[in-house]
């Protein structure tokens, strides 16, 4: 484990916000999958007394975290493709309303996993690229003919001012150094290019209501942004913040039932039985509790 200073302002002054709930007897590897149901299991979570950023401290060492993601496999993610396609189609629409259609412009998805968003962007006319540490996910993406570089963003070493848009969908909260990642994104974006980031909002009414029972308090999450702290980090990385908006996602009812079961076993088991009996497992439903948001910022000309 390592102790870290605030990634936003550099201060080491912080207060404990949520005590550790880790059980050292558990294997942590499954908890780093995108489809992990390890809700409520996490190291100590603190809040910076200077800028308000919420983050895990102490945490696993960066090299160990990176290697865990390189080795990660997540077949359930592929099985839930239908909901992810609908979600990413919805995510792309506001980007194109803001920036216009792809028309061959170059887009990078950081942490693209098996490349579902890349497929959708490519179908909409973007020259879509991805970067992903999981060897398994890269293999799946490449088997579908997608342009995916294996490794981290810095390892990819893309040319300066090369992309028109860079996206991160549910990725920034997993990074050991989000500020460093944003500065690298700033470097590879063209002047006038855009960064689009989707993450959790720890200051949302729903997160505040649930407190320590908020399901996104998980072992694999290192940072818990609010709209304010993400805006400040983007601005310190050199971006001009545009706006942020709550944005949910589609889940198939069968998959949703498994998520509910992880939080509320009795209710989830009942929901699973009802969904199976009605043969509605594959029915997609849109969920927006206001605790997920997308932020938009541009690199000044």
Identity of the highest mean pLDDT range in 60-69, 132-141, 252-261: 132-141
**pLDDT-above-90 percentage for the chain:** 76
Residue 282 pLDDT level (bands cut at 50, 70, 90): confident
The superfamily CATH assigns to domain 14-298 is Vaccinia Virus protein VP39 (3.40.50.150)
Choose the weakest-confidence range: 29-43, 178-192, 224-238, 265-279. 29-43
Place of tokens 């028309």: 103
Strand pairing category for 147-150 and 223-224 = unpaired
Token pair of 251, please? 């889940």
Q: Look at 25 and 235; give whichever has higher pLDDT.
A: 235
Mean pLDDT of 195-221: 96
* pLDDT tops 50 at residue 25: no
* pLDDT tops 60 at residue 283: yes
pTM for this model (two decimals): 0.93
Q: What is the pLDDT of residue 26?
A: 54
| Percent of the chain that is helix, strand, coil (3-state, to 5) | 40, 25, 40
Q: What is the pLDDT of residue 118?
A: 98
Q: Look at 122 and 73; give whichever has higher pLDDT.
A: 122
* pLDDT tops 80 at residue 221: yes
The sign one gets for the Cα dihedral 177, 288, 195, 229 is negative
151-163, pLDDT tens digit by residue?
999 999 999 999 9
Q: What is the pLDDT of residue 111?
A: 97
Mean pLDDT of 66-82: 88
| CA-based nearest residue to 74, from 16, 22, 34 | 34
Q: What is the pLDDT of residue 28?
A: 53
Mean pLDDT of 273-300: 92
């Amino acid at each position: 484990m390592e102790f870290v200073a605030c990634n936003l302002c550099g201060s080491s002054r912080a207060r404990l916000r949520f005590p550790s709930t880790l059980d050292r007897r558990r294997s942590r590897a499954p908890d780093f999958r995108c489809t992990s149901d390890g809700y409520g299991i996490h190291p100590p979570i603190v809040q910076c007394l200077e800028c308000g950023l919420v983050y895990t401290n102490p945490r696993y060492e960066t090299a160990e975290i990176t290697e865990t993601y390189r080795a990660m496999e997540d077949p359930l993610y592929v099985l839930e493709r239908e909901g992810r396609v609908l979600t990413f189609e919805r995510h792309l629409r506001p980007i194109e309303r803001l920036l216009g259609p792809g028309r061959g412009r170059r887009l990078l998805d950081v942490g693209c996993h098996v490349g579902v968003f890349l497929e959708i962007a490519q179908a909409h006319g973007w020259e879509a690229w991805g970067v992903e540490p999981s060897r398994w996910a890269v293999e799946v993406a490449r088997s579908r003919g997608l342009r995916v570089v294996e490794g981290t963003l810095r390892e990819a070493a893309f040319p300066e001012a090369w992309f028109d848009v860079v996206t991160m969908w549910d990725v920034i909260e997993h990074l050991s150094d989000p500020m460093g990642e944003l500065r690298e994104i700033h470097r590879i974006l063209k002047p006038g290019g855009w960064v689009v980031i989707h993450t959790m909002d720890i200051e949302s009414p729903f997160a505040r209501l649930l407190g320590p029972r908020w399901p996104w308090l998980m072992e694999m999450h290192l940072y818990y942004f609010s709209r304010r702290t993400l805006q400040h980090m983007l601005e310190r990385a050199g971006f001009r913040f545009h706006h942020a908006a709550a944005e949910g996602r589609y889940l198939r009812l069968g998959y949703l039932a498994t998520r509910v079961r992880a939080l509320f076993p009795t209710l989830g088991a009942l929901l699973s039985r009802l969904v199976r009996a009605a043969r509605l497992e594959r029915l997609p439903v849109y969920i927006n509790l206001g605790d997920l948001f997308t932020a938009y910022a541009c690199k000044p000309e």
